[in-house]
Chain A
Amino acid sequence: MNLQAEVRKIANHPHLSPAQKQMQIAQLAVQSLGYPEISAEAQQALASGLICDLHEGHAPYKPRYVLPDYQKALSNGCEYLELAPPKDLDEAIQFLMIMYHHVPSVTGFPVYLGDIDQLLLPFITEEMSEDYLYKKLRLFWQYLDRTLPDAFMHANIGPVNNRVAQAILKVDRNLQQATPNLTFKYDDQNSSSGELLKDAITSIIQCNKPHVANHQLINNDFPEGYGVASCYNSLPLGGGAFSLVRLNLAESFKLALKKVPLEKNIEEHYIQHTIPQCAELLFVILEARIKYLVEQSGFFENHFLVKEGFISADRFTAMFGVFGLAELVNSIMELTGKGGRYGHDKVANSLGKRIISAYADLIKNKQVHYCRNQKVLFHAQSGISSDINVTEGTRVTTGEEPETLTHILAVLPMHQYFPAGISDIFNIDETIERNPVALLELCQGAMRQGLRMFTANVANRDLVRITGYMVRRSDIEKYKKEGSRLNSTALGSEAIDNAKVIHRCVQAL
């Protein structure tokens, strides 16, 4: 289809809102430009689907993920937005509500809303009753869902227990909204955090939110502070990620297969040759995108977030994403006649670990200009809606997941390699609602063993987790008939059709 026909198709789409149309048409315009300068091999890798730039566009004019230092903004006020530092809770919430609309990201919506409890705590006085606080936050949450309709928008709470975090959890489970996405930073070394975890578990059982992030582990990687944004992306606070480019490991198997002289040597060939080759191709694309954004787009010279010091270029990294590890491992196992499957078989699982650790070593040693500490960060990318027959990140294929605890033990060794985030979705039988302590103990055990991020999918809840974001089961049916005000519902609908998300295995006890 030519550009005009594609624009026309979007313009006349019966179910998209005008704003959704505008965004999609703008994306088409950018895609019509030439790609930032890359080698012919890299172009070929993009065309074949070996490497995917996640529709960031051919002229990167904004960073993919932006994590402003909202604390600084609230303390200093914002000149550009003509906002004085807030003096009370109403002013603070209003300040944030305004500011969110001016935080760019790949989706056009803010992907990080801040550690909201910590931002609002200084404005909480003892006289404020629980009901008062609940109402303020309920209206805030409703506002976010209705005006920033994108489930990649991500709020953080914790690690210590506090009134605001408790109220947010309560509001969140009562409203059952797909947005905002929510992560609780859990600190296993802090008993107050343990108290808040109990509240979080209550929420998880009712609505599959929040994610639980391993604060001890992630905090070590980001001395300047961090936020969890979009789908499980841990990134430096006051910065973010220029770009995220991902490698399709399932496709990389085909590349190895073409070149290996003897099939039985595929594993060594993959480790010795395919890994450096793929990594280099991805670095070329990532570097070209970063270069364009920093040197040509003018973003870092002009944007008020930079000028007023709420973000700074030296706190931006870039993300090296991988997905489809399950297919890669299963293909190598099949070819070498071993047959065991990723997630179930010991040999398959250690092969997965060997591959990921080899990529991690290359990434650690690669210097990339403009990036924070000259380094990019490794990320297990949790898929996009159009992926078909490729498993997200380093997950076990949907529908093949082993029993819950066996599942955790199988994927746990992967979590050490991904400072920019990794996710596995653990299926929990709905009988958990009669015994929440069991989930609490499971989650705490997983954190102590080094799981970076704990995400539960309790069976038969209206809110269903797709890749990392949520959609309402009831919205999907409706969307198919009449469209949705939430941009992410469309993606969720496509993901459910393509990846059989609804068919996640829950073992009956």
Chain B
Amino acid sequence: MNSITGRVSKIIPFSCVDGPGSRMVIFLQGCNFDCINCHNPHTIGHCDHCGECIEVCEQHCLQLMNDKLVYNPTDCIQCEKCIDRCPRSANPTTRYFSVDEIMQQILKVTPFISGITFSGGESTLQYPFIIDVAKAIKNDPATKHLSIYIDSNGSLPISRWELLDDYYDKAMIDLKAIDDELHKKITGRSNNRVCKTINYLAGKDKLYEIRYLLIPELNDKTTDIYSLVDFYESYELNVKLKIMGFQQHGVRLPYREKHRAATIEDLNYFYEKLLRFGLTNITLVKPLL
């Protein structure tokens, strides 16, 4: 038996957008960044048991017991009204899972997937849980073939990445901006650790891709392009750079209205400039029409 529990925001049994192939995604609750572009803002905060969400739940899945919010998933229809009501960007349907409970979820879908992705929130804030789940996956003959990916904002210190080293295959790191002031403006934090993480993971061949989310008129200036190219050159990176466009769906106010969605023209312009300045390994994620 394992005593560590994970604070889980949501589990999606089948995802095609969180790493290669068919993957189960475990979204861990809580993030140390507060990005204006976050499209899962309810995964940022932690519940403080204020109970405001209880009245909006028509299925009566939420209640306060001994001043603690208790969520009973049996009748939940995932309408997410409680999430919309939460005043602190938390998720009332967050549940604590033991390693064994997570393994039961994984075993149910193992025949249909090629791996697991830990996402969030910021998944690495719960790195001891990731390590224990990974051990359990590799110790079970039925699941040991599954690949383990980590989706992260890159803020974990290198000393912690070293602890994780043997327990995942690849990581996908979000890079919001190279300019530190701009990075602070977007995320609320410096990118110092993010850059170190990228350098460290690339050196260990543990980096699957760097994701750059283009927010029009914010991190898509010519100087941003130059500094991205410089960044790649100074660290001698050849890892895939995935360019995605900001979309308003799911984003909090006022940012949702303050920033427009990136168009295919925005993305193409940025992409072609990067190519012209010598980056080669770039994937452009076109917005779906």
Measured between C-beta atoms, what is the minimum distance from B83 to chain A in Å? 13
Residue among B12, B23, B112 making CB contact with A446, cutoff 8 Å: B112
Determine whether A441 belongs to the interface, using a CB cutoff of 8 Å to chain B.
Answer: yes
Determine whether A17 belongs to the interface, using a CB cutoff of 8 Å to chain B.
Answer: no
Q: How far is the CA of A339 from the CA of B109 in the complex (A)?
A: 26
Residue among A434, A445, A448 making CB contact with B16, cutoff 8 Å: A434
Q: How far is the CA of A403 from the CA of B11 in the complex (A)?
A: 11
Determine whether A4 belongs to the interface, using a CB cutoff of 8 Å to chain B.
Answer: no
The segment from A72-80, A245-253, A327-335, A405-413 found at the interface with B is A405-413
Q: How far is the CA of A409 from the CA of B108 in the complex (A)?
A: 9
Chain B 1-53 residues near chain A, CB threshold 8 A? 12-17, 20-23
Measured between C-beta atoms, what is the minimum distance from B257 to chain A in Å? 20
Determine whether B263 belongs to the interface, using a CB cutoff of 8 Å to chain A.
Answer: no
Tell whether, in the assembled complex, residue A509 and residue B112 are in contact, meaning their CB atoms are under 8 Å apart. no
Q: How far is the CA of A438 from the CA of B16 in the complex (A)?
A: 6
The segment from A126-134, A175-183, A369-377, A425-433 found at the interface with B is A425-433
Determine whether B114 belongs to the interface, using a CB cutoff of 8 Å to chain A.
Answer: yes
Measured between C-beta atoms, what is the minimum distance from A345 to chain B in Å? 9
Measured between C-beta atoms, what is the minimum distance from A22 to chain B in Å? 42
Chain A 425-460 residues near chain B, CB threshold 8 A? 428-432, 434-435, 437-442, 445-446, 448-449, 460
Determine whether A43 belongs to the interface, using a CB cutoff of 8 Å to chain B.
Answer: no
Residues in chain A near residue B15, CB distance under 8 A: 438, 509
Residues in chain A near residue B17, CB distance under 8 A: 429, 431, 434-435, 509
Chosen A-B contacts, 15 in total, with CB atoms closer than 8 Å, are A403-B14, A404-B13, A405-B14, A409-B13, A432-B16, A434-B16, A435-B21, A438-B21, A439-B22, A442-B14, A445-B22, A445-B112, A446-B112, A448-B111, A508-B249
Tell whether, in the assembled complex, residue A409 and residue B22 are in contact, meaning their CB atoms are under 8 Å apart. no
Residue among B112, B249, B285, B288 making CB contact with A405, cutoff 8 Å: B112
Determine whether B113 belongs to the interface, using a CB cutoff of 8 Å to chain A.
Answer: yes
Residues in chain A near residue B23, CB distance under 8 A: 438
Residues in chain A near residue B109, CB distance under 8 A: 405, 409
Residues in chain A near residue B285, CB distance under 8 A: 434
Residues in chain A near residue B288, CB distance under 8 A: 430-431, 460
Residues in chain A near residue B12, CB distance under 8 A: 403, 509
Which residue of the partner chain B has the closest CB to A430?
B288
Residues in chain B near residue A448, CB distance under 8 A: 111
Which residue of the partner chain B has the closest CB to A432?
B16
Measured between C-beta atoms, what is the minimum distance from B208 to chain A in Å? 13
Tell whether, in the assembled complex, residue A435 and residue B13 are in contact, meaning their CB atoms are under 8 Å apart. no
Tell whether, in the assembled complex, residue A441 and residue B13 are in contact, meaning their CB atoms are under 8 Å apart. no
Measured between C-beta atoms, what is the minimum distance from B17 to chain A in Å? 5
Tell whether, in the assembled complex, residue B13 and residue A403 are in contact, meaning their CB atoms are under 8 Å apart. yes
Contact surface of B with A, Cβ cutoff 8 Å: 12-17, 20-23, 75, 108-109, 111-114, 249, 285, 288
Residue among A403, A405, A409, A437 with max Cβ neighbours from chain B (10 Å): A405
Tell whether, in the assembled complex, residue B108 and residue A441 are in contact, meaning their CB atoms are under 8 Å apart. no
Which residue of the partner chain B has the closest CB to A404?
B14
Residues in chain B near residue A440, CB distance under 8 A: 22
Measured between C-beta atoms, what is the minimum distance from B19 to chain A in Å? 9
Measured between C-beta atoms, what is the minimum distance from A411 to chain B in Å? 13
Tell whether, in the assembled complex, residue A435 and residue B112 are in contact, meaning their CB atoms are under 8 Å apart. no
Measured between C-beta atoms, what is the minimum distance from A139 to chain B in Å? 31
Tell whether, in the assembled complex, residue A445 and residue B21 are in contact, meaning their CB atoms are under 8 Å apart. no
Residues in chain A near residue B113, CB distance under 8 A: 405, 441-442, 445
Tell whether, in the assembled complex, residue A439 and residue B13 are in contact, meaning their CB atoms are under 8 Å apart. no
Which residue of the partner chain A has the closest CB to B114?
A441
Given A431-B288, A509-B12, CB of A437 within 8 Å of CB of B112: no
Q: How far is the CA of A408 from the CA of B14 in the complex (A)?
A: 11
Q: How far is the CA of A403 from the CA of B16 in the complex (A)?
A: 13
Residue among B16, B23, B75, B114 with max Cβ neighbours from chain A (10 Å): B16
Tell whether, in the assembled complex, residue B111 and residue A445 are in contact, meaning their CB atoms are under 8 Å apart. yes
Tell whether, in the assembled complex, residue B13 and residue A437 are in contact, meaning their CB atoms are under 8 Å apart. no
Residues in chain B near residue A509, CB distance under 8 A: 12, 15-17
Measured between C-beta atoms, what is the minimum distance from B87 to chain A in Å? 24
Other A-B pairs beyond A403-B12, A460-B288, 16, CB < 8 Å: A339-B75, A404-B14, A409-B108, A409-B109, A429-B16, A429-B17, A431-B16, A435-B16, A435-B21, A437-B114, A438-B23, A439-B22, A441-B114, A442-B113, A448-B111, A509-B15
Residues in chain B near residue A446, CB distance under 8 A: 112
Which residue of the partner chain A has the closest CB to B283?
A434
Measured between C-beta atoms, what is the minimum distance from A250 to chain B in Å? 22
Q: How far is the CA of A429 from the CA of B249 in the complex (A)?
A: 15
Residues in chain B near residue A405, CB distance under 8 A: 13-14, 109, 112-113
Residues in chain A near residue B112, CB distance under 8 A: 405, 408, 441-442, 445-446, 449
Residues in chain A near residue B75, CB distance under 8 A: 339
Residues in chain B near residue A442, CB distance under 8 A: 14, 22, 112-113
Measured between C-beta atoms, what is the minimum distance from A201 to chain B in Å? 12
Q: How far is the CA of A438 from the CA of B288 in the complex (A)?
A: 18
Q: How far is the CA of A508 from the CA of B40 in the complex (A)?
A: 12
Measured between C-beta atoms, what is the minimum distance from B214 to chain A in Å? 16
Residue among A438, A439, A440, A446 with max Cβ neighbours from chain B (10 Å): A438
Which residue of the partner chain A has the closest CB to B108?
A409
Residues in chain B near residue A339, CB distance under 8 A: 75
Tell whether, in the assembled complex, residue B111 and residue A449 are in contact, meaning their CB atoms are under 8 Å apart. yes
Which residue of the partner chain A has the closest CB to B21?
A437
Q: How far is the CA of A287 from the CA of B21 in the complex (A)?
A: 49
Measured between C-beta atoms, what is the minimum distance from A293 to chain B in Å? 43
Residues in chain A near residue B20, CB distance under 8 A: 435, 437
Q: How far is the CA of A403 from the CA of B15 in the complex (A)?
A: 10
Q: How far is the CA of A442 from the CA of B21 in the complex (A)?
A: 9
Chain A 476-509 residues near chain B, CB threshold 8 A? 508-509
Residues in chain B near residue A404, CB distance under 8 A: 13-14
Closest 9 CB pairs of A and B: A445-B112, A438-B16, A405-B14, A405-B13, A441-B22, A438-B22, A435-B16, A445-B111, A437-B21
Residue among A428, A434, A449 with max Cβ neighbours from chain B (10 Å): A434
Chain A 267-322 residues near chain B, CB threshold 8 A? none
Measured between C-beta atoms, what is the minimum distance from B157 to chain A in Å? 30
